[in-house]
Structure 1
């Protein structure tokens, strides 16, 4: 009975890990697609550079192993995303900012 319970826990843990990996990869793919779409719609070198910085800084967040290590990459990625939004806002007709 203990072997069955251990096997069940292992299978559920593996399935949960696979599902979480799928969700995270899907989110990264959507984010990259949105950035590429913005790059295609404008010839702004500033916007392209800001978008790439934001993605690069965001990708570094998963390297943190503790909450304390996450603080700096989180701050950098947040600032990079804000810079990207500010650069994009100037290229969107009717956007206020």
Structure 2
């Protein structure tokens, strides 16, 4: 895949065998990449500083889905809650003084 920026129209397009994709198609993907990169740096720093990171699988949902179904929202909540509860239960308990 190749990307090009057209100087006259300021439109970002990518060329594939199936056609051109405009900014509307690419913007969510670019933003996802930027967010993932930023998130990765924060996770690495927080882990280095001793934080416990809980990874929740969310690949079945898109962060830009404005019309996400209630079932998908419920699944996100359930997966997040279960994963977090499991991680909390696995943490060592600290005796209070």
The TM-score normalised by the length of structure 2 is 0.44
The structure with the largest helix share of the pair is 1
The structure with the largest strand share of the pair is 2
